[in-house]
């Protein structure tokens, strides 16, 4: 019996209850194979931002779940996504992470493709029959490709909901991040930091959009940040009963966390660059929207299954195996702002994230400890009941809770169970 046949018999819904999930969901290899089929090979997956391939012939290597793909800018306004597989003997066509090329040449036997995927010529073509049709050996395109405000998504499934429907209530959160530019564009041109952790892919979004762990895992990082900003952080044990709802499950597997406004940050005299930035924003959006965009922190949010925005950057994950995940941190620079503004974003990003930051190493270590802890099989159920008694279910499908509650995680797992229980 194959792994896929074994996985198909698993009752995933029985592993997700209203307030608990089973540890098997993080370590079962058969379930991981089933996830590739029922989630990663079906839903819309974030791949890249248009600014990463700005010129004709620019290409990127990325992954669609476990499948290697290539993004190529064919013309100024046309980006194609192909499976990264030569049509001759299935060699990896592009082995570099990025580059620019007039043609794509397979390193194994030299088959050459145009950037639009057409087979230009098989090497030593005289050995092939005259009936060989080159058009039958073009690169295989990914079934569906679409973009939202420069963010490129792809789906391996021929049929399914459109990208706008998939993004759903996450769109206003994406808009808020991107509209912080006076020209409405972000740039992912500063490069990326990469990390690999020995843990299941689902742990990263849980950790990224959940602040219950923050005061414990990031105590040092929070203290340094507060000192620099002149904040006094509220005690983790003192939460007001009528505190504004701040954790949201948005439907479709998407989650959000709104940071509380704690203490009174010191008001510093705005720099000339900051004044110019605010003026440009007011000119672009009007006073009310500009003030909201420049004076309010964006939410931390997760777009199912692999895109997050956290403070300074878009965070992208690739599942490698049931207990191994790659994560990439792409600083989101703002187009049309003074250089000093983007410089501040990068400096704050470097302080918090990446291998030398004060936040990322904490999270990587705690996720790997989580995966190790799952090997203790005494009690396999994980409890996600924080705030269940006060969770608010709204008519539009949104579920909200207070700061540090776990309602958003419960929503994520309900969505996961629905997808994994499908065909």
In-domain check, residue 171? no
**CA-CA distance, 102 to 294, in Å (whole number)?**
42
Over the stretch 79-137, which tens digit does the pLDDT of each residue have? 999 999 999 999 999 999 999 999 999 999 999 999 999 999 888 777 888 777 888 89
Q: Is 117 contained in some domain?
A: yes
Residues 126 and 254 in one domain: no
Picking from 108, 133, 155, the residue at the C-terminal end of a domain is 155
Q: Do 206 and 307 fall within a single domain?
A: yes
Given this model, what pLDDT does residue 9 score? 77
Supply the pLDDT for residue 391: 93
Could you give the angle at which helices 339-352 and 272-285 cross, rounded to 10 degrees? 110
Domain shared by 90 and 238, yes or no:
no
Residue 169 lies in a domain: no
Q: Is 160 exposed, middle or buried (0-12, 13-18, 19+ CB in 10 A)?
A: middle
Domain boundary among 98, 129, 155: 155
In a domain, 4, yes or no: no
**334 or 354: whose pLDDT is higher?**
334
pLDDT above 60 (res 263): no
Give percent of the chain with pLDDT exceeding 70: 91
Spatial separation of the C-alpha atoms in residues 120 and 99, rounded to whole Å = 20
- Does 227 share its domain with 285? yes
pLDDT surpassing 50 at residue 140: yes
pLDDT classification of 413: cutoffs 50, 70, 90:
very high
The dihedral region occupied by 389, where left means phi > 0, alpha psi between -120 and 50, and beta the remainder, is alpha
Residue 265 has pLDDT above 90, yes or no: no
**Whose structure tokens read 């005061």?**
215
What angle separates helix 272-285 from helix 287-295, to the nearest 10 degrees? 130
Cα angle 274-268-352, degrees, rounded to a multiple of 5: 75
pLDDT of residue 240: 45
The pLDDT assigned to 409 comes to 97
In a domain, 350, yes or no: yes
Average pLDDT over residues 147-160: 98
In a domain, 294, yes or no: yes
How many domains in the chain? 2
Q: Which pLDDT score is estimated for 6? A: 65
70 is in which domain, residue-wise?
45-155
- pLDDT for 264 equals 40
Average pLDDT over every residue of 179-193: 97
Q: Give the pLDDT confidence score for residue 235 in this predicted structure.
A: 47
Q: Does residue 233 share a domain with residue 349? A: yes
pLDDT at 36 over 70: yes
3-state class (DSSP) for residue 284:
helix
The predicted pLDDT at position 266 comes to 45
pLDDT digits (tens, 9 = 90+) for 210-231: 988 888 888 887 777 667 666 5
Q: Does residue 110 fall inside a structural domain?
A: yes
pLDDT at 242 over 50: no
Tell me: do 209 and 273 sit in the same domain: yes
CATH code of the domain in which 124 resides: 2.102.10.10
CATH number of the domain enclosing 294? 3.90.380.10
Structure tokens at 402: 């207070």
Q: Are residues 117 and 238 in the same domain?
A: no
Residue 365 corresponds to which tokens in the numbers above?
Answer: 């270590």
Which pLDDT tens digit goes with each residue over 297-344? 899 999 999 999 999 999 999 999 999 999 999 999 999 999 999 999
Q: Which of residues 239 and 354 earns the better pLDDT score?
A: 354
What pLDDT score does 241 carry? Answer: 44
307 in a structural domain: yes
Question: Distance between CA 314 and CA 174 in Å, rounded?
Answer: 10
Do residues 200 and 113 both lie within one domain? no
Residues 6+ apart with CB under 8 A from 105: 111, 112, 113
Q: Which residue has the higher pLDDT, 257 or 223?
A: 257
Residues 150 and 194 placed together within one structural domain of the fold: no
136 shares a domain with 75: yes
Look at residue 229 in the predicted model and tell me its pLDDT: 62
Average pLDDT rounded to a whole number, residues 174-199: 97
Element (H, E) at 330: strand 324-331
> 232 vs 221, which has greater pLDDT?
221
Residues 234 and 294 in one domain: yes
d(CA 193, CA 329): 5
Return the minimum-mean-pLDDT range out of 184-198, 265-279, 292-306, 381-395.
265-279
pLDDT of residue 239: 43
Same domain, 254 and 142: no
């Amino acid at each position: 019996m194959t792994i896929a046949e074994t996985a198909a018999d698993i009752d995933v819904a029985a592993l997700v209850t209203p307030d608990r999930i089973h540890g098997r969901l993080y370590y079962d290899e058969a379930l991981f194979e089933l996830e590739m089929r029922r989630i990663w090979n079906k839903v819309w997956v974030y791949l890249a931002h248009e600014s990463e391939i700005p010129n004709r012939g620019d290409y990127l290597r990325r992954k669609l779940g476990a499948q290697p793909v290539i993004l190529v800018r064919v013309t100024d306004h046309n980006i194609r996504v192909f499976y990264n597989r030569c049509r001759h003997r299935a060699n990896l066509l592009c082995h570099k992470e990025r580059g620019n090329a007039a043609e794509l040449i397979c390193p194994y036997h030299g088959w050459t493709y145009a950037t639009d995927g057409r087979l230009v010529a098989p090497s030593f073509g005289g050995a092939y029959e005259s009936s060989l049709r080159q058009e039958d050996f073009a690169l295989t395109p990914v079934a569906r490709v679409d973009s939202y405000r420069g963010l490129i998504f792809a789906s391996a499934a021929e049929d399914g909901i459109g990208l706008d429907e998939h993004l759903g209530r996450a769109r206003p959160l994406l808009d808020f991040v991107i509209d912080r530019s006076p020209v409405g564009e972000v740039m992912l041109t500063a490069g990326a930091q990469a990390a690999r952790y020995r843990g299941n892919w689902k742990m990263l979004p849980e950790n990224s959009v959940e602040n219950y762990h923050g005061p414990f895992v990031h105590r040092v990082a929070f203290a340094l940040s507060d000192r620099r900003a002149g904040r006094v952080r509220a005690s983790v044990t003192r939460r007001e009963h009528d505190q504004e709802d701040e954790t949201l499950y948005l439907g479709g597997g998407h989650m959000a966390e709104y940071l509380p406004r704690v203490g009174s940050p010191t008001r510093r005299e705005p720099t000339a660059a900051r004044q110019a930035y605010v003026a440009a924003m007011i000119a672009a959006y009007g006073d009310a929207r500009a003030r909201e965009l420049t004076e309010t922190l964006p939410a931390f949010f997760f777009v199912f299954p692999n895109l997050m925005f956290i403070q300074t950057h878009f965070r992208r994950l690739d599942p490698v195996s049931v207990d191994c995940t790659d994560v990439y941190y792409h600083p989101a620079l703002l187009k049309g702002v003074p250089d000093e503004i983007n410089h501040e974003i990068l400096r704050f990003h470097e302080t918090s994230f990446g291998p030398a930051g004060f936040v990322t190493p904490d999270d990587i270590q705690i996720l790997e400890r989580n995966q190790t802890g799952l090997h203790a099989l005494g009690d396999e159920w994980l409890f996600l009941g924080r705030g269940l008694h006060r969770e608010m279910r709204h008519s539009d499908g949104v579920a909200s809770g207070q700061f540090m509650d776990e309602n958003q995680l419960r929503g994520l797992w309900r969505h996961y169970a629905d997808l994994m229980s499908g065909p």
